[in-house]
Amino acid sequence: MKYFQKDEQANITITTVTLRVQILKDKFSQSLGLPFKELLPSSVIEQALSELKIRYYRRLFDPIVTLWAFLSQVLDADKSCHNAVSKVIAYLAEIGVEIPSSDTSAYCQARSRLPEKFLETLFSQVGKSLEQKVEIEHLWCGRNVLVIDGSTVSMPDTPDNQSYYPQPSTQASGCGFPIAKIGVIFSLATGAAIALCIDVLNTHDIKLARNLYQFLNPLDILLGDRAFCAYADLVSIKNRNCDALFRKHQARKTTMRKGKIIGSSDKLVTWHKPKKCPHGLSKDEFNTLPSTITVREIYYYIVVPGFRTERVSLITTLLDTTAYSTLDIVGLYGKRWDVELDLRHLKTTLGMDILHCKTPSMVRKEIYVYLLAYNLLRGLMWSAGTSYTTPPLRLSLQGTRHHLNNFIPELLAATSTKRLQIYRTLLKVIAHKAVPDRPARNEPRVRKRRPKAYPLMTKPRHELRKQLQTA
């Protein structure tokens, strides 16, 4: 492709900055952008910039180049800004144009200029686009199921981060890291993240969930653990023409004598409005709650040799026993564990567990870019699975990331005709080996590898240095 062109009317050569920006956009679209062209084409990015009325100067790191560099940064094993800038320099050096400085300040400033709403919009748009690819055979009883859960992420110990996302109160000052609480809704069909909420560490999961209900669509089913099973939340979900399936909260006692039996280990029960306004609800919200709500309670037993038999009670608003049998609902709750795997993919596989940005606003942007990259990988897995008749959720996200990173140099070096052939090969390789299906897998939460026998930090580092100097 020829990058040096002339304007036929004004006979003015394209400036060096414009030339280099176009080179980088082409490079990213031919490599990292090619597998994601259906979910995140340049037109979607430009539309988001236009809708948010984002104006920017003509720079090397314009919003589109910065976004692609940010995405490649979180997908790479080396997540440093220096590595991201080095890639940009290498792309320009191949063409033979003037290369920028290897200093990372320009790129870091460009990242800070990206509006948080812009990244949130792209993340949401990609998740919705992937949801639109779901066919009826991928749904549960003809219904779309979303799974909700909460988790935490840590970040560098800077004064700004500490003031906005304080460390746990049990840790001494200067001995811990700032931690943010996140609530995420995932699609059970695609594994993609649909919605996100970020708050401080001591925020209860149910408060995060109430900020996420706005992202539910009519007839969705929300699946979650016992933390979300509250009277007001069941009412709120039903008011949105949706349904819920939660494990029964341990504070609510179970009695076998009440309720209408509708099947084996299955009954309809009436819950009454709490006498006092629960924490987190306003008086107006509490007053609008109905006096009663009918829910369906299903219970089953977990038998482990050598341990006391445990009874699990499920609460759902799916009252139709013909459309949703007892076994169907129990089987659906068994898939709630998928959200734990999705969060593990985000935090462990992609490395979102420990963030690198030093200000609260950049921390939130980094989280959105991680979720955007995660959804793009899910979209690539969906394309590979549907193209080669392999269940997309059975494919390895880590393997997909490895194959993508290894194929990018080949995509860059290929011609336009050869590039599509390499892309189809990439899909075939991703779908080649599915992860084994291991239902009801149970593993203890223990560590085999022993950490180094260093004591925990109980004083700030500068005090410990003084102790070493005076010792």
pLDDT at 257: 67
Six-digit token pair at 250?
């341990």
The CA angle 197-40-183, to the nearest 5 degrees, is 10
Who contacts 169 (Cβ-Cβ below 8 Å, separation ≥6)?
202
What does the alpha-carbon distance between residue 384 and residue 433 come to, in Å, rounded to a whole number? 11
Rounded Cα distance between 232 and 216, Å, is 16
pLDDT digits (tens, 9 = 90+) for 60-108: 899 999 999 999 999 999 999 999 999 999 988 888 888 888 999 999 9
Sort residue 266 into left (φ over 0), alpha (ψ -120 to 50) or beta: beta
Count Cα atoms within 13 angstroms, Cβ side, for 463: 8
DSSP state of 33: S
Q: In what order do the strands lie in the sheet with 266-272?
A: 193-200, 179-187, 145-154, 221-224, 243-247, 310-316, 292-302, 266-272, 260-263
Q: Residue 250's pLDDT is what?
A: 83
Residue 236 has pLDDT above 50, yes or no: yes
Per-residue pLDDT at 470 exceeds 60: yes
Neighbours of 335 (CB within 10 A): 15
Q: What are phi and psi of 197, to 5 degrees?
A: -135, 135
Tell me the pTM: 0.92
Q: What would the two tokens of residue 75 be?
A: 């997908």
First-last CA distance in the chain: 66
pLDDT at 451 over 70: yes
Enumerate helices (H) and strands (E) in the chain, giving the number of each.
16, 9
**Is the model's pLDDT at 3 over the cut of 70?**
no
Amino acid 255: pLDDT: 63
Is the model more confident about 290 or about 311?
Answer: 290
Q: What is the pLDDT of residue 2?
A: 39
Residue 108: CB atoms within 10 Å: 18
Whose structure tokens read 């199921």?
Answer: 145
